[in-house]
Structure formats: C-alpha cells, structure tokens
Amino acid sequence: MATAGLFDSLEQLVLLLWESAWERPFQFLFTFLFPLAGLAIFCVYVVLHLVAPKPRLPFPSEKSYITTNPDGTVSDPRPLPCWYDRWRAEGRLSQEYPTIPAGFPVPDEATIEPAEVEVTVVVPAYNEEARITAALEEMVEYLDQQFGRSTNPQLLQPERQERPAQKQNKKGKRATTPHRLVFKPDSPTSASHPGSGTSPSDPVPSGYEILIIDDGSRDRTVEVALAFARRHALHDILRVVTLQKNRGKGGAVTHGLRHARGRYAVFADADGASRFSDLGRLIEGCEDVVDGSHRGVAIGSRAHLVGSEAVVKRSAVRNFLMRSFHFVLMILTPPATSRIRDTQCGFKLFSRAALPHVVPYMHAEGWIFDIEMLMLAESAPATPVLASDGSVIGTSSGIRVAEVPVGWHEVDGSKMNLVQDSVRMAIGLAVLRASWMLGVYRRRLT
C-alpha cells in the first residue's frame, strides 16, 4: 500500500514537472534544471576529491638504496640521488622570493640537474623472484654492449674494465651505434636552453644504471636481484630501492623516475615481455620528436602485432576487453593521447628534460598511470622552437610522443586479474578524465 502511494506521488511530480516545462520552458530551465545540474556537478566534484588518487609521501627508508660491494657483500643503505627534491626546493625558492632580479642564479622550475649517466632503467618489481633474472640478463647484455659502464675505476672490477677496451681496440668503436643525436651535447641548441639539463661545461655522461624498485615484495625478489648484481659485478650500477608499503606499478615507476640520473630514463617491466634490445629504437624515436628544450617521449607499441599469432592466441575475452578499453580511451582522452594505438606497453622512455614536466604531477599509482603520463606530456607548457643557428622562431606546446613498434611476447606469471583489473582501469580512466575536466587535479604538484 505504501509502495503504491509512493509511485502515485512520483507520477504526479513527473506530470507537474512536464506541464511546467511545457508551459514555461525558460522559467523551468532557470528555476529547476540549471540548479539541479549545478548541484549534480558539485556532488561529482566532491566525490572526485574523495576517490581521486592521492599519492603518499615516501618513507625515509625509501630515499636510500642498497647494492653489492666488490667483495660480494651487500652495502649499507646509501642516500638515493633525487633531482625531484632539488627541483621542488628551487621552485619554492622562486615562489618565496618573486622579486629576485633578472639574472639572479635561481633556476626555472622546468630545469633539471645534469645527467650523470647516459641511461637510467627503472624496473618496478612486485614478487618477481621467478622472472626478473631473465629480464636482467637481456638488459645488461644490451646495455654493456651499447653504452658500456661507468668510467669510474672504483666501481668496476679489472676484468670489467678490460672487456670494453678489448672491444674498442678490435673494432675502433662500440660494436654498434644504438642511436643518433639530433642535438649534439656541445651544440648551441642543446646547451643554451635552461631546461635541457646540459651546459657547455658539463661532461658527456657515460654508462648506465638500473634502479629496481621493489614494491613491497613478499618473496626473494631483492635477494635474487642482488645475487645477479654480484655475479655480473654491477657494483653501484644495479641499485635496489625497497618501498616500505606496496604502491602499485605506477607509484613504483614514478618513485624510480624521481631518482633517475640518466640522459634518458626508461622503465621496463620485470617480466621481460618487451624486447629490451629495442631500446635503441625508442631513443631514436625520442630524438626524432624532441623540441628546442630537449623534451621528448617515446613509447613501445605492440599495435603492429594485432592479427599476429601472439595476439590471436589470446582468449576472446582478453581481446574483447583490449578493444573495449581502447575505444573508451579514444573517447575520454585528449586528441594526441587518443591517437596512440597502444598506451599500456610497459616500455616507455623520457628525455631528461621531459621529466620535470611529467613526473612531479603524477597522481595515479595503479594500472592507469601510463595514460596520465601521456596526458601530462600532451599538456606540457609551450617551449621555444629553435632554428639551426639557435635563434627562436616560434613556440611549441606539449611534449611530442613517438609510438615505436617493439618486439613483445607473452610471459607466464602475470599478476593482472583480467576482468577485475579491466574494470578498475575503466573506472580509473573515468576518474582521471573527470578530475582533469573539473580541476580536481591536472598539472598540480602531488
């Protein structure tokens, strides 16, 4: 009886609203529809503030790393270099003293300290005891061949110092040339702009580093990584950072990129699914799109594999979810990001100058973090366009992204729950896009 009365009341209310809208449409819009829409938007805004990702601050122990010593022992925790902390401090200084005269040596917010190595590889790892060794084997073999190791004799054992020298004496140079340079380190275009992270007096960096970000693993991931470093004499080259609490893949990658020392920073999955020897392609792709401030991004893409045996063998459900997610992505993301055919490949590279425009503004720590990175690159502030003689001929907004085909294969042991994580990614994408549209966060420091 009560239910029937409730339905009658609702029916009368709907009829009243319909008659009001029909007889006095403008009055209905301004007295009912517009206030209701405003209330709905306000409610969504409040809900987004409650559910939008809020990255936690790092614990003190997460600002240090361990590595192996030449005698095979594990080092004590060492301070982890962090360009991000210095960048934030300089930004606060600029805001605190806005009347500093022109020419005073306070760097612009977009600057980043010079690189110390040529390549930083960030490897997020969560319970990867069984898979990380194979990935590291491929990684180190390629990096040793193409980039060599640091020239600091204290970091290398004698046999490791002789090996590159023998190769150079035999061939006169490195075995292969992995990439080309669009802006040479000593050219006016690369050295003169404050955001490039280089200056004419800076030495050209050499070697590489591998940052393994252990995301609160419960297995022997750390021990296996250190044993690998011990066998390959990667003393102070392979560094292990342990997160006190699990943050998710996005949080681990962001933490690693905040501490990258390389001219190029790339993150690669610990399962070794992407062919790491395609790193040279990523660097070439990045340099093909860099702007006058050295900003550029290159992402590995598996889109060329659609229709191949690697994709056809997947389950019908997985292929359906993949296509559905891509469709939603095209609808909800800005133009440049929506045109990218594969946003989720775990093999992405950033030039050093691009890092301050992306990493400090990251919020997402789950599977959706790749898309936020690409959206932040697309929305980066304008930078001068330089002519060959170094003169400014215009401006260019956003950081261009090169989508580069890379080799890839399925690896057993995936931790992704197909249905649950697909739903979470769709929800995360909707929250991300709504948060940008309503100003909950966008290019706002975390």
Query: In whole angstroms, what is the distance from residue 171 CA to residue 166 CA?
Result: 9
pLDDT at 415: 66
Same domain, 81 and 137: yes
pLDDT over 50 (residue 159) = no
Asked if residue 443 is part of any domain, the answer here is no
Same domain, 305 and 333: yes
Task: Assess whether 87 and 40 both reside in one domain.
Answer: no
Secondary structure (DSSP) of 375-432: HHHHTPPPEEEE-TTS-EEEEE-S--EEEEE--B---S-----HHHHHHHHHHHHHHH
Helix (H) or strand (E) holding 340: none
User: Both 65 and 137 in a single domain?
Assistant: yes
pLDDT digits (tens, 9 = 90+) for 372-421: 999 999 999 888 776 677 677 777 789 999 999 999 877 776 666 667 77
In a domain, 445, yes or no: no
| Cα–Cα dist 271/410, whole Å | 9
328-340, pLDDT tens digit by residue? 888 888 889 989 9
pTM score, whole prediction: 0.81
CB neighbour burial string for 195-208, b if at least 16 within 10 angstroms, e if fewer = bbbbeeebeebbbb
Same-domain pairing of 35 and 180: no
Cα dihedral 246, 63, 82, 102 sign = positive
Residue range 417-443: average pLDDT? Answer: 83
Same domain, 18 and 73: no
Q: What CATH number does residue 301 fall under? A: 3.90.550.10
Judge whether residue 180 has pLDDT over 90: no
Evaluate whether residue 444 is within a structural domain: no
| Domain co-membership, 17 together with 149 | no
Strands 238-242 and 208-214: parallel
Q: Are 249 and 374 found together in one domain?
A: yes
Q: Are 295 and 383 in contact (CB under 8 A)?
A: yes
For residue 305, tell me if it sits in a domain. yes
More confident of the two residues 363 and 11? 363
Amino acid letter, residue 237: I
pLDDT at residue number 99: 60
For residue 321, tell me if it sits in a domain. yes
Mean pLDDT score, 131-135: 95
Query: Both 258 and 295 in a single domain?
Result: yes
Q: Where are the beta strands (DSSP E) in 56-204?
A: 64-65, 78-79, 117-125
Q: Which two tokens stand for residue 43?
A: 């409610």
Say if residue 416 is in the same domain as residue 332: yes
| Same domain, residue pair 249 and 279 | yes
pLDDT digits (tens, 9 = 90+) for 21-50: 676 776 766 676 777 788 888 898 888 888
pLDDT score of 49? 86
Instruction: Give the structural domain span for 114.
Output: 58-438
pLDDT tens for residues 262-278?
999 999 999 888 999 99
Is 382 contained in some domain?
Answer: yes
Cβ neighbours, 10 Å, residue 401: 25
Let me know if residue 53 belongs to a domain: no
Looking at the structure, tell me whether residues 205 and 247 fall in a common domain: yes
Of 229 and 430, more confident: 229
List the structure tokens of 407: 């080799």
> What type of residue sits at position 148?
G
Number of domains the chain contains: 2
